[in-house]
Structure 1
Amino acid sequence: METGTATREGGLLGKFLNGIEKAGNKLPDPAVIFLLAMVLIWGLSALFSRFEFSAIDPRTGEAIVVHNLLTGDSLAGFLANMVKTFTSFAPLGVVLVAMLGVGVAEHSGFINTGLKMMLKVTPARLLTPSIILIAIVSHTATDAGYVLVIPLAGVIFYAMGRHPLAGIAAAFAGVSGGFGANFVPSGLDPLLQSFTQSAAQIIDPEIAINPLNNWFFASASSLLIVLLGWYLTDKVIEPRLANTPIDGDTSNLPKFDEAGTREKQGFLLAVTVMVAGLVLLYLAASPADSPLRAKSGNLSDFSAPLMQSIVPLIFLLFWIPGAVYGFYVGTFKKSKDMIDAMSKSMGSMAYYIVMAFFCALFIAAFSQSNLGALLAIEGAEVLKALALPSAVTIVGIIFLTAFVNLFVGSSSAKWALLGPIFVPMLMQLNISPDLTQAAYRVGDSGSNIITPLMPYFPLVVVYCQKYVKNTGIGTLIAMMLPFSVVFLVGWTAFLLLYWTLGFPLGLQASYTYGL
């Protein structure tokens, strides 16, 4: 307790983070911030639409144009498309559909029993790195980490007698701060590769980039993120949270006691059903002509029906075992109990739905205005004009990407803008597209966890409020800022060292490009 007090109340770091937390929590509610930010974007779009810019938009090959959102046509379109903008907001569907299945698994007791059994065999000293590692692996299942790993990490830490917000922070750091790291190939790899290859072909039309061109570096980075996240969680974040009381409703959370015989039997039966479902999925996806594969025959392409079905599969793989467990142990007596569990799950998402409404409107306005594209392109052009040494340029790309990431959340959107500038520019400096893409991955990850404009940021605030009612934007930013700074600096240094030592970046990858 004394360590926590000293860390939170004293020292430069503690005072700095406390100041950020206090200032951030004085801001309006996140939903209001998104509303005000949207109005600001409207005003800025009207202002900047009066100017002509020489920067070329790589997506169109024409000069970037800022669109005025305060014209009559734009405002009419805003009203006409408001419902569609909200309902087509990608994170909303991901969260709600997944939570329907998770709700059944949670309220039946399936998740609680699983956590009790897992915690019994997990050494307490390895809990933090285990959580972060699982969070990193969750990238393979697109956005599953945000709706599964992060809230469960809070539950696990609470059950172990540790501060739940520290568990949420560790998982959020792994899922989002370590987004570019993973030793298991995921859909992110071919997505980035497609943009990198298109950008490289501006200089060399015949060049081909392997989708796993950063695999070895991403795998090694996983270990780095686990070690850095482990240290920060246990030595910085959790001591700072020692004096933060848990005043939320924790009545439905599991306690660290022994699971009963009936519970163990029900859990084993439910897991057997889950494994059987996974085996059936494997058998369905194995044939070369499986309808779950992309036209190219690849299962990991974003266009593959399997990848597009990740969220529905999460729903089924929690809903079915949860129902089996519930009816076996008696927490579900009739089908209505299962529907009530899903309703309770949706009830807990009410606040997030309100925030998502305003967040969707803001992101749509920011995208339509072209202000984000202007910011990214102008920043890249300044970096190009500086003509710095190769290593310094790589560092500049990382930190410029991290800065742009505060305003443009989509990884693919940022790389679509920056890739056609960075990749050809560095190819002319004899730096390969593979190394440029690796630098982008580092910059794209580190600042995810400190920007309220990241679509899942409000959801993490909601997770925290389950335990600490007055958690605000400032609380979460102050909690995650050490991760962001250390990840960016440490990961950048790691890339430079990795490059210096000449370790392979990935399959068919190189560090240099010969003109």
Structure 2
Amino acid sequence: MAMESTAPKTTMQRFLDGVEKVGNMVPHPVVIFLILIGIVIVLSAVLGLFGTQVSYERINPETHKIEIASTAIRSLLNAEGIRFIYSSLVPNFMAFTAVGLMIAAMIGAGVAEESGLVTALIRKLVIISPPAALTYILAFVAITASIAADAGYLVLIPLAGIAYLAVGRNPMAGLALGFAGVAGAFTVNMLIKPLDAVLVEFTNDAARLVDPARTIGLASNVWFSVASVVVLTITIAFITDRIVGPRLGPYDATKAAEGTTTDQAALLSESESRGLRFAGFGLLGLIVVFLLLTVPSGAPLRNPTTGELIGNSPFMNGLIALIMLIFLTSGWCYGIGAGTVRTLTDVIAAIEKSIKGLGGTIFLFFILSQFVAYFTYTNMGTVMALSLAGLLQSANIGALPLLLGFIVVVAIIDLLLTGAIAKWAIFAPVFVPLLMKLGVEPEAVLAAYRIGDSPMNMITPLNAYFAMVVGLMQKYDRNAGVGTLVALMLPYLAGMFVVWTALFVVWKTLGLPWGL
């Protein structure tokens, strides 16, 4: 058993311990969302009875012109609402894309994990990397994993826990680090990703309300995004090494859930090394295939109309398939080389095992999908967002304070509406024209939105993967709960929000270019 840390706890550590104790009194996530569903149903009926609504300007997606619209609270207890509850049960679940992404990713990840590739890769990374650099490497990879959309949640976070365990550090800190990088910095990357295309399109529609000739490009925030990745990598690593890691202390393997492997060999065996070589050959072959499908002019995975590859293209829209194939191919090739997965039957068995382990998560997603659908149907989130936006818009303050207030409002709303696209569709027509009239370029407004949209993803239970991370933590500490995760993520939330906002203020004050 690992020795317990005898160093006295700081005030911050005692505060986080208190948050964890209180948070762990929270019921099971399924129970929480059942309660929330009941609250939404009752509240929608009360607000609908009083005719609660809000009027606002919006951009018509078909005509791209501004129009006056109103959104009213819709009751779930009238005839129409009851019909929706009854008839949408299965459609709500089928439309919850997180389920499909999770299963698709686990098809490949299951083979990679069962064959031993994941463990071997992490141990290889540990062997060749200086221990002091491992935290920074994992933080950087976690942030840039958003290029694969939600696949970063499913692949990188558990890998970070395994990596920490491999070097004798507390795997809970690794999971927290991974979650902070993937969720807390989701809107920035070193590369252009599909989300950028959608956000830029809404920004341009809003900018044309002031200047019909004003547009921004797909890479309009690329320099700020690159700088954000670097700064946030350092911030996440610092918080992990100086706050989260010391608070957790040495890992006690006796806390692990039954069946969790906590022993890691220090060196790779000959068969494992051979497996990694085979995995490399398999990955190289897959890369060649995808180069043929993407690089040539008129390649199948390019946009058939514009020919673009990065942005709105089959390649980017189906990136989860590439992630799945990378792990499936490299995992199978590793298994052949290492002798752990030899036949197609073995591969199928590995996939079945990984998907069987998702039973609890899939049930949670079923309940969560109903809550999200009911909350969206009632329009309560939209009314709240527009009301807060109206208050901020009417405040007679300068451009920079208004931008900072905008960041805060977006962050608050993100606790309820986690979708980056849905929120920007509401906020862009209000704040882009408003700030342009104050001399603020639309690129700056979009950059501010990126900051407000991401950090809160780490602590809101409405994040579709919040419960999944709780489940991953319970593998290493069977007593972990919602409070454990929230307590671990609060230092990241505070640190990332302050540092990222400070970077924005400096960037704006110095007049640095936001992108290309």
TM-score normalized by structure 1?
Answer: 0.94
| 1:111-510 → structure 2 map (5 Å cutoff) | 111-242=118-249, 245=252, 246-249=255-258, 251-252=260-261, 255-294=264-303, 295-301=305-311, 303-507=312-516
Which sits farther off after the overlay, 110-119 or 372-381? 110-119
The AA in structure 2 aligned to 1:209 is I
Change (3 A) 1:270 1:260: same
Question: Match of 2:308, as an amino acid?
Answer: N
Deviations 1:28-62 (A, max 9, x none): 10111111111111111112223243431626631
Deviation at 1:18, TM superposition (A): 1.7
Q: Give CA deviations for 1:389-428 in whole Å, capped at 9, x if unaligned.
A: 1111111011111100000010001111111111111111
1:70 corresponds to which letter in structure 2? L
User: Tell me, which stretches of 5 or more residues in structure 1 are unaligned?
Assistant: 508-515
Contact 1:112 1:254 in 2 (8 A): no
Deviates more, 1:398-407 or 1:347-356: 347-356
Assess if the C-alpha contact under 8 Å between 1:108 and 1:322 holds in 2: yes
Cα distance in structure 1, aligned partners of 2:4 and 2:496: 24
Higher mean C-alpha deviation, range 429-438 or range 182-191? 182-191
Contact kept, 8 Å, 1:160 with 1:256, in 2: the verdict is no
Contact 2:108 2:324 in 1 (8 A): yes
| Equivalent position of 1:53 in the other structure | 53
Deviations 1:69-117 (A, max 9, x none): 1122322222222112112211111111111111111111122222222
Distance in 2 (alpha carbons) for counterparts of 1:43 and 1:197: 39
- Cα shift at 1:250: 6.1
Q: Which amino acid aligns with 1:425?
A: L
Task: Check 1:439–1:27 CA distance in 2 against 1; reply closer, same or farther (3 A cut).
Answer: same
Distance in 1, matches of 2:458 and 2:323, equals 24
8 Å CA contact 2:54, 2:383 repeated in 1 = no
Counterpart code for 1:310: L
Aligned to 1:510: none
User: Which residue is equivalent to 1:513?
Assistant: none
Equivalent position amino acid for 2:27 in 1: P
**Aligned partners of 1:239 and 1:332: how far apart in 2?**
39
SS of alignment partner, residue 56 of structure 1: strand
* Cα pair 2:143 2:181 within 8 Å, conserved: yes
C-alpha change, 1:4 and 1:410, in structure 2 (3 Å) is: farther
Structure 2 letter corresponding to 1:127 = L
Question: Does structure 2 conserve the Cα–Cα contact (< 8 Å) formed by 1:193 and 1:210?
Answer: yes
**3-state secondary structure, aligned to 1:63:** strand
Aligned pairs, how many?
A: 504
Residues 4 and 382 of structure 1, relative CA distance in 2, 3 Å threshold: farther
List 4+ stretches of structure 1 deviating above 6 A: none
Equivalent position SS for 1:64: strand
The answer (yes or no) to whether the contact 1:112–1:253 under 8 Å persists in 2 is no
2:114 to 103, 107, 117: 107
Q: In terms of mean alpha carbon deviation, does 337-346 or 437-446 score higher?
A: 337-346
Secondary structure of the structure 1 residue equivalent to 2:279: helix
Quote the offset at 1:493 in angstroms.
1.2
Instruction: Decide whether the 8 Å contact of 1:351 with 1:462 is kept in 2.
Output: no
- What secondary structure, in the 3-state scheme, does the structure 1 residue paired with 2:214 have? coil
Moved more, 13-22 or 412-421: 13-22
Contact 2:59 2:206 in 1 (8 A): no
In the TM superposition, residue 347 of structure 1 has moved relative to its aligned partner by 2.2
The 1:2/1:434 distance shift into structure 2, 3 A limit, reads: farther
Residue of structure 2 equivalent to 1:27: 26
Please list the CA deviations of residues 337-384 of structure 1 after superposition, one character each: whole Å capped at 9, or x if unmatched. Answer: 222211221122122111111111111111111111111111111001
Matched position secondary structure for 1:154: helix
Shift of 1:231: 1.0
Shift of 1:290: 2.0
Q: Which moves more between the two structures, 334-343 or 216-225?
A: 334-343
Aligned mates of 2:217, 2:466 — CA distance in 1: 32
Farther off after superposition, 118-127 or 247-256: 247-256
Offset, 1:2: 9.9
Question: 2:58 corresponds to which letter in structure 1?
Answer: P
* Residue 237 to residue 62, structure 1, CA distance change in 2 (3 Å): same
SS at match of 2:454: helix
Q: CA deviation at 1:461?
A: 1.1
User: Counterpart amino acid of 1:447?
Assistant: M
Aligned counterparts of 1:122 and 1:393: Cα–Cα separation in 2 = 44
What one-letter code is carried by the residue in structure 2 that aligns with 1:307? M
Cα drift, residue 178 of structure 1: 1.4
Q: Point out where structure 2 has 5 or more consecutive residues left out of the alignment.
A: 61-67
- State the distance in 1 between where 2:107 and 2:363 align: 18
Provide TM-score, normalisation by structure 2. 0.94
Opposite residue 99 of structure 2, the aligned amino acid is L
Shift of 1:327: 3.0
Say which is worse superposed, 79-88 or 241-250, in terms of deviation: 241-250
Between 75-84 and 477-486, the greater mean CA deviation after superposition: 75-84
**What is residue 512 of structure 1 aligned with on the other side?**
none
Deviation at 1:67, TM superposition (A): 1.1
For residues 471-497 of structure 1, the C-alpha deviation after alignment (integer angstroms, 9 at most, x for no partner) is 111110110011111111111111111
Structure 2 contact 53–71 (Cα < 8 Å) conserved: yes
Shift of 1:279: 1.7
CA contact (8 A) 2:105 2:320 kept: yes
The match for 1:73 is: 80
Distance 2:42 2:57 in 1: 22
Range with greater deviation from structure 2 (427-436 or 317-326):
317-326
Matches of 1:223 and 1:363, distance apart in 2 = 34
Shift of 1:283: 1.7
Aligned-partner Cα distance in 1 for 2:297–2:382: 40
> Offset at 1:243?
6.3
Identity of aligned residues (%): 34
Deviates more, 1:415-424 or 1:330-339: 330-339
Deviates more, 1:255-264 or 1:354-363: 255-264
Kindly tell me: are residues 237 and 424 of structure 1, through their superposed partners in 2, closer, same or farther at Cα, counting changes over 3 Å?
same
CA distance in 2, matches of 1:129, 1:188: 25
Cα 1:269/1:440, change in 2 over 3 Å: same
Q: Which amino acid aligns with 2:346?
A: D
Q: Letter of the aligned partner of 1:299 in structure 2? A: L
Counterpart residue number, 1:82? 89
Whether contact under 8 Å (2:54, 2:387) holds in the other structure is no
3-state DSSP of counterpart to 1:362: helix
What's the RMSD between the two structures over aligned residues? 1.9
